[in-house]
């Protein structure tokens, strides 16, 4: 049973930096966005650490996440940015303590590693949506989607740009996120489990042959066995993007498959409640969350 812990105005959102170094000015603008929405923001000093391209040492970045989960005044946790590094801290997280202190975790891109692990290790729903620095430059529709996703029970999403590659209906837990990040978790103790799920995938800057290679590896590793349906978000700045529909059709032959969800690294990034049951209907290009009202 996956539990969803939405936020409300006045709640405190803690900022973690599980991945790469970030731009301080964009971070401050992101904080302004959260405060204008009515949230308090807790900004740990430790997130400003530096090690190569990372936001500090692995243990330090993990300690921030652990401390935010342990803090009873914190209701949600948002990733500062993506890049790389979240997978490096997973083994240093106190999963027993985290499970005992449920909070809503928010982020995307490299934060997919953390989101996926939280769903599997704790049975908490998460929100795949803008990281804090991303909030600095998003449009009003993305902001509205973000606020709704973190504060309310999920509502239907119509894929206005939806393209059906394989028809049908599917129901299952919404799982997935950034394709490259998920691929690099194969063979680790945090390997994603998509069994019985509706799989969402997105990526940026990957040419079609690399997307093919990653999907082929996942398929050969058995990760797609039991996948009930597939939804793809944006594949931004991906060379030979016109090849991608054919690649997806070959990999997921016979599985209901929709392209065109406006979520991921594009200019508009709809927020998604991940880990909860959804129904995917290719005939209406709609995703419907199955939640208790």
pLDDT tens for 44-76 read 999 999 999 999 999 999 999 999 999 999 999
Tell me the CATH number for domain 157-289.
Answer: 3.50.30.60
> In the chain, pLDDT over 90 holds for what percent of residues?
93
Same CATH topology for 12-151 and 157-289: the answer is: no
Domain ranges of the chain: 12-151, 157-289
Q: How many angstroms separate the Cα of 95 from the Cα of each of 17, 48, 151, 208?
A: 18, 24, 25, 36
pLDDT: which is higher, 91 or 290 = 91
Helices then strands, counting H and E runs in the chain, come out as 9, 14
- The Cα–Cα gap between 116 and 212 comes to 22
pLDDT: which is higher, 214 or 136 = 214
pLDDT tens digit string along 217-271? Answer: 999 999 999 999 999 999 999 999 999 999 999 999 999 999 989 999 999 999 9
Q: Which residues are catalytic?
A: 109, 202, 265
Q: Residue 161: what pLDDT?
A: 67
Q: Residue 158: what pLDDT?
A: 82
Q: Is residue 291 over pLDDT 80?
A: no
* Mean of the per-residue pLDDT values of the chain: 95
pLDDT tens digit string along 82-116? Answer: 999 999 999 999 999 999 999 999 999 999 999 99
Q: Residue 292: what pLDDT?
A: 61
Q: Residue 168: what pLDDT?
A: 96
Burial class (CB in 10 A: 0-12, 13-18, 19+), 110: buried
157: confidence class by pLDDT, cuts 50, 70, 90: confident
Stretch 114-143: mean pLDDT, rounded? 96
Nearest to 258 by CA among 168, 149, 154, 142: 168
Q: Residue 293: what pLDDT?
A: 47
Q: Does domain 12-151 correspond to CATH entry 3.40.50.10740?
A: yes
Identify any residues that bridge with 288 across adjacent strands, giving them in sequence order: 279
Q: Encode burial over 121-147: b for 16+ CB neighbours within 10 A, e otherwise.
A: bbebbbbbbbbbbbbbebeeebbebbb
Stretch 118-129: mean pLDDT, rounded? 96
153: confidence class by pLDDT, cuts 50, 70, 90: confident
Dihedral over alpha carbons 215, 216, 217, 222 (to 10 degrees): 90
The β-bridge relationship of strands 12-16 and 197-204 is unpaired
Written as six digits, the tokens of 239 are: 């060379």
Nearest to 227 by CA among 203, 209, 251: 251
């Amino acid at each position: 049973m996956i539990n969803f812990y939405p936020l409300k105005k006045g709640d405190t959102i803690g900022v973690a930096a599980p991945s790469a170094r970030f731009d301080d000015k964009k971070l401050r603008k992101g904080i302004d966005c959260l405060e204008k929405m009515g949230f308090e923001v807790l900004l740990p000093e430790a997130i400003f650490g530096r090690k190569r391209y990372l936001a500090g040492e692995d243990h330090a970045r993990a300690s921030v996440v652990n401390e935010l989960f342990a803090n009873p005044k914190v209701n949600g946790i948002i990733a500062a940015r993506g890049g790389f590094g979240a997978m490096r801290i997973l083994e240093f997280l106190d999963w027993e303590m985290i499970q005992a202190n449920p909070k809503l975790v928010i982020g995307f891109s490299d934060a997919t590693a953390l989101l996926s692990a939280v769903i599997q290790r704790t049975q908490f729903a998460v929100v795949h949506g803008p990281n804090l620095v991303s909030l600095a430059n998003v449009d009003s529709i993305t902001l509205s989607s973000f606020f709704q996703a973190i504060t309310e029970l999920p509502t239907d999403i119509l894929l206005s740009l939806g393209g059906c590659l394989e028809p049908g209906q599917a129901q299952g837990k919404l799982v997935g996120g950034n394709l490259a990040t998920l691929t690099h978790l194969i063979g680790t103790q945090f390997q994603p489990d998509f069994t019985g799920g509706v799989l969402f995938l997105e990526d940026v800057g990957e040419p079609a042959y690399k997307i093919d290679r990653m999907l082929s590896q996942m398929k050969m590793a058995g990760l797609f066995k039991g996948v009930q349906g597939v939804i793809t978000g944006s594949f931004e700045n991906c060379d030979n993007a016109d090849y991608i529909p054919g690649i997806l059709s070959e990999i997921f032959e016979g599985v209901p498959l929709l392209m065109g969800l406006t979520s991921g690294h594009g200019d508009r990034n709809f927020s998604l409640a991940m880990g909860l049951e959804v129904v995917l209907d290719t005939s209406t290009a709609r995703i419907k969350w199955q939640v208790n009202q």
